[in-house]
Amino acid sequence: MRKRSRKCLKMYVETPRRERRMSILLSDEEQRIIDRYLEKYKITNKSRWLRETILMFIHKNMEEDYPTLFGEHDMRR
């Protein structure tokens, strides 16, 4: 039997390239809070964490504000 070569083609999921930069300014206290959180939960990729946290917050708010056919008060009756 012939051994398989160690070089295998890896399949990568196509992710959109991130070409837009966003920067924010934090106070020293805010920076310490974030650093403490990242250290406590052993988060090593700060940029990915920030991106996911912000987008999850936006997504949750958009779901809550989604227009419905009837108002919440009318549906609870």
Q: What is the pLDDT of residues 23-53, one digit of tens each?
A: 999 999 999 999 999 999 999 999 999 999 9
**Residue boundaries of the structural domains of the chain:** 28-65
Confidence of residue 71 (pLDDT cuts 50, 70, 90): confident
Tokens of 19: 């070409």
pTM here is 0.65
Tokens of 3: 């051994």
Given this model, what pLDDT does residue 60 score? 93
Q: Under a CB-based contact definition with an 8 Å cutoff, are residues 58 and 51 in contact?
A: no
Burial of 56 (0-12, 13-18, 19+ CB in 10 A): exposed
Q: Cα angle at 49 between 35 and 19, to 5 degrees?
A: 120
Distance of alpha carbon 27 from alpha carbon 62, whole angstroms? 28
